[in-house]
Structure 1
Amino acid sequence: MIVVDGARVIYPNGTEALQPCALRFAPGAFTVLLGASGAGKSTLLRSLNGLVRLSEGRITAEGRDITTALRWHRARTGMIFQQHQLIGRRTVLANVLMGRLGHHSALRTLLPWSLAEKRLALTAIERVGLLDYALRRADQLSGGQQQRVGIARALVQQPSTILADEPVASLDPATAERVLAQLHAICRQDGLTAIVSLHQLDLARRFADRIIGIAGGAVVFDGPPHALGGAETARIYGTTPQPEHALEIA
C-alpha cells in the first residue's frame, strides 16, 4: 500500500506543481493518472519514487516513509520513462541488466553480472517479445521496441510497484496501444501495483481500474473509468462538457 498524505510540490520558481492531496494506491491495481500536458501528473508520479521532493506532506510505502527508506523503496519500484532512457550503444541485455543496480552496493556493481541475473534479464526480455534482439544495440530498435526494453528493465528489478511516466506519449497510436496492453497484461500476471500517467483518454478508459484526473496540479477526479463522464472530462481538460450522445458518437 502506497499512501500519499497531504503531498504538495512547489518548485523553486514558485510554481505550485502539485496542490495538497491525499491518495491511497491499493496493491495490484492498475491506476492511471490522467490529464493534459503540464497538469501535474509527472510531478505526482515522480514524487512517488522520490525523484521529486515534496514541499509538504509525506508518502509512505508499506508504512515506511520513503524519504527515510528511499534505497529500499526504489529497489522494489520499477520506473518506465517516456523517452526510454536507454544507453544506445549498449545491447538490449546490457540495458535491461541496469535494472539490477539498485540491488547491489556501489562496489559490487564493478564486478561482472552473475549468471542468475543474466538469466533473469533474458527472461524479462523474452516476456516483452524481444529475445531475438537481446544482443542488438538499443539504438537499432524502433521506438516501440525501445519502450519494451524499458519495461523489461523495470521487470528485472522484481518490483512490487511499476511507475510509468507517459510511457506511450512518443509512440504512434497503434504502437502505443500494443505497448500499454503488454504492460497491463504483465502487471496483471505478476500482481503488480501499476501507476501510469497518460493524456490519452481512450487508453485510460480501456486499461485502468481507477483513474485519477489532474488539472492545474489538483486532483479533480478519482474513480473507476465508467464514472468518467463529460463533466468530469471537462474538469480534467478544461473544456466545455459535451452532451452524452455526442460522447457516444465520438
Structure 2
Amino acid sequence: MLSLRNVTVTYPNGVVALRPTTAVFERGKFIVLLGTSGAGKSTLLRSLNGLVRPTSGEVCVEGRGSIFSSRAHLRAHRRRTGMVFQQHHLIGRLSALDNVLTGRLAAHSVLRSILPLPRADRLLALEALDRVGLADRALDRADQLSGGQQQRVGIARAMAQKPEIVLADEPVASLDPATSVKVLEDLHRICREDGITAIVSLHQVDLARQFADHIIGLAQGRIAFEGAPDQLGSATLDHIYATERKALAKAA
C-alpha cells in the first residue's frame, strides 16, 4: 500500500502545485486521477516515485516507511515502480524489443548493463510485448509504429520491470477514442492479472468511469473528490472542472 501523508509541493518559482494532501492507494487497485491541466495530477504522480520531492509531508510504502528515508530506499522504490508517459519516451531508432529491454536496466549493476542483457531478460521483454499484442512487431523500429502501438510498447517496458506499482501520466491524451480504449484495456488487464497497483491520470471522465476502481478528483492542488466511479456526480464534476470551464467561457 502506497500513501501520501500531508504532502505539499511548492516549486522554486513559488507555484504551489500540491496543497496538503493525504491519500491511500490500495494494493492491486486501478486508481484514476481526474482534474484539469495544472490541478496537480502530474505533480502528485511524480511525488509517488520521487521525481518530485515534496516540500513537506511523506510518501510512504506499507512496511517500508518513507521512500525518501535514504538514497538506497528511493532507488529500490523506483525499481518497483513502472512509469508510462504521455509522449511515450521511446528511442525511435531502436526496435520495440530494445525499448522494452530498457525497463530491465535497473535490475542490473551499471557495469553489467553496459553488456548485452541476459537471454532471460530478452524472453521477459518478448513476453511483455506479447501481452500488449505486439510480439510480431518486436524487431520493428519504434518510430515505425503508430502512436497507439508506441504507447503499448511503453506499457510493455513498464511491465518488464516486474513492478508492484505503475504510474501513468495522461497515457492516452494524444490518442483517438478507439485507440485510447485499447491502450487502457491492455493496461487494466495486465495490472489485474499481476496484482499491480495502477495510478493513472486522465482527462476523460467516461474512461475513468469505465476502468477505475477508485477515482481521486483534483482541483487547484487539492483533493476535491475521492470515491467509487458511481459516486462521481455532476456537481462534483462541476467543482473539479470549474477552473477550466471558466477559462473556456472567458475565451469565448
TM bin, normalised by shorter chain, reads: over 0.9
Moved more, 231-240 or 105-114: 231-240
Change in CA separation of 1:57 and 1:240 when aligned onto 2, cut-off 3 Å: closer
What amino acid does structure 2 have at the position aligned with 1:128?
A: V
Deviations 1:136-163 (A, max 9, x none): 0000000000000000000000011110
What amino acid does structure 2 have at the position aligned with 1:71?
A: R
Q: CA deviation at 1:65?
A: 1.3
Is 1:51 paired with 2:51? yes
Please tell me whether the aligned partners of residues 3 and 60 of structure 2 are also in contact (alpha carbons under 8 angstroms).
yes
Deviations 1:77-101 (A, max 9, x none): 1100000000000000100000011
Please tell me whether the aligned partners of residues 101 and 121 of structure 2 are also in contact (alpha carbons under 8 angstroms).
yes
Does the residue aligned with 1:188 lie in a helix, a strand or coil? helix
1:177 to 177, 181, 185: 181
Q: CA deviation at 1:36?
A: 1.1
Change in CA separation of 1:58 and 1:176 when aligned onto 2, cut-off 3 Å: same
* Structure 2 match to 1:5: 5
Change in CA separation of 1:213 and 1:113 when aligned onto 2, cut-off 3 Å: same
In structure 1, what is the Cα distance between the partners aligned to 2:13 and 2:149?
Answer: 37
In structure 2, what is the Cα distance between the partners aligned to 1:101 and 1:93?
Answer: 13
User: Given the two structures, how large is their TM-score scaled by the length of structure 1?
Assistant: 0.94
Q: How many residue pairs get matched? A: 241
* Structure 1 match to 2:35: 35
* Structure 1 match to 2:249: none
In structure 2, what is the Cα distance between the partners aligned to 1:70 and 1:100?
Answer: 17
* Structure 1 match to 2:250: none
What amino acid does structure 2 have at the position aligned with 1:42?
A: S
2:229 to 213, 225, 235: 225
Is 1:148 paired with 2:161? no
Q: CA deviation at 1:64?
A: 2.4
Change in CA separation of 1:240 and 1:151 when aligned onto 2, cut-off 3 Å: closer
Q: CA deviation at 1:239?
A: 6.9
Deviations 1:6-49 (A, max 9, x none): 11000111010001111111100000000111111000011100
Instruction: Kindly report the root-mean-square deviation, in angstroms, between the aligned alpha carbons of the 2 structures.
Output: 1.3
Does the residue aligned with 1:37 lie in a helix, a strand or coil? coil
Deviations 1:203-233 (A, max 9, x none): 0011000000001111100000011001111
What amino acid does structure 1 have at the position aligned with 2:24?
A: R
Please tell me whether the aligned partners of residues 213 and 219 of structure 1 are also in contact (alpha carbons under 8 angstroms).
yes
In structure 1, what is the Cα distance between the partners aligned to 2:117 and 2:108?
Answer: 11
In structure 2, what is the Cα distance between the partners aligned to 1:104 and 1:5?
Answer: 32
In structure 2, what is the Cα distance between the partners aligned to 1:51 and 1:239?
Answer: 27
Q: Is there any run of 5+ residues in structure 1 with no aligned partner, and where? A: 242-250
What amino acid does structure 2 have at the position aligned with 1:193?
A: T
In structure 2, what is the Cα distance between the partners aligned to 1:24 and 1:36?
Answer: 21
Query: Identity of aligned pairs, percent?
Result: 61
Please tell me whether the aligned partners of residues 101 and 125 of structure 2 are also in contact (alpha carbons under 8 angstroms).
yes
User: Given the two structures, how large is their TM-score scaled by the length of structure 2?
Assistant: 0.93
Please tell me whether the aligned partners of residues 8 and 56 of structure 2 are also in contact (alpha carbons under 8 angstroms).
yes
Shift >3 Å, 4+ stretches: none
1:190 to 191, 194, 197: 194
Please tell me whether the aligned partners of residues 234 and 240 of structure 1 are also in contact (alpha carbons under 8 angstroms).
no
Q: Is there any run of 5+ residues in structure 2 with no aligned partner, and where? A: 246-252
Please tell me whether the aligned partners of residues 96 and 153 of structure 1 are also in contact (alpha carbons under 8 angstroms).
yes
* Structure 2 match to 1:65: 66
2:109 to 98, 102, 105: 105
* Structure 2 match to 1:247: none
What amino acid does structure 2 have at the position aligned with 1:19?
A: R
In structure 2, what is the Cα distance between the partners aligned to 1:225 and 1:51?
Answer: 28
Does the residue aligned with 1:194 lie in a helix, a strand or coil? strand
* Structure 1 match to 2:240: 236
What amino acid does structure 2 have at the position aligned with 1:184?
A: H
